[in-house]
Amino acid sequence: MPCHLASTLTSASLQDHVFDPEVWSRQKPEAEFGPNIGFREYSLLDNPRMPAAVRDSVVQVNVCLPGQPCVEAASGGKLVVNITAPLTDVDAKAVFAPLTTVKVLQFSSMLGLFGGFAEDATRERFYRRVRDYAGIWCCIHAHPGHIWYDLLYDKDHTDRHNRHFNGTWHIVTGP
């Protein structure tokens, strides 16, 4: 089953400044990069061409953080599922397996939900896939005067230009 990420950006024009849709949509071998990640327009569920069967198939997912109360309510008579975060990728597959027929999962929050990958190899494939998704930002007064967005800025990693970051990102122009 393909994975799709619905952008929650409030402006469609923002996506092409943070993400590079052309790079994102390139197909890469799953053995090396993990599953492809599709994307949709930010207004997908508001699109009048969206079938009612999709729009009406909604489950409210309440993310419950340890030590904090979990909100039980959902609006509009939606089915509510409470999950305790954080979840690894393997935990998430198990928790959401009973909901595979649901078309829309509406999360109360994503903060603290993802607890990482259960296996290092899966994490590395994911990092290889998303490393190049971000675009370029222009301009600052320097030569060259552009900065590449780095989706992994807070991780110990090597970026697309073979520059190593130790988890503390700082502005680096170029490459």
- Domain residue spans in the chain? 3-133, 134-175
Confidence of residue 152 (pLDDT cuts 50, 70, 90): confident
- Alpha-carbon span 48 to 18, nearest angstrom: 27
pLDDT digits 0-9 by tens, 154-171: 888 888 888 888 877 777
pLDDT digits 0-9 by tens, 60-111: 999 998 888 776 665 666 788 899 999 999 999 999 999 999 999 999 888 8
Q: Report residue 41: phi and psi, to 5°.
A: -60, 150
- Alpha-carbon span 31 to 138, nearest angstrom: 34
Alpha-carbon torsion (21, 89, 10, 76), positive or negative:
positive
Q: What is the pTM of this model?
A: 0.74
Confidence of residue 3 (pLDDT cuts 50, 70, 90): very low
Residue holding tokens 């039980």? 72
pLDDT digits 0-9 by tens, 6-31: 444 344 444 556 788 888 899 999 99
Contact by Cβ (8 Å): 134, 21 = no
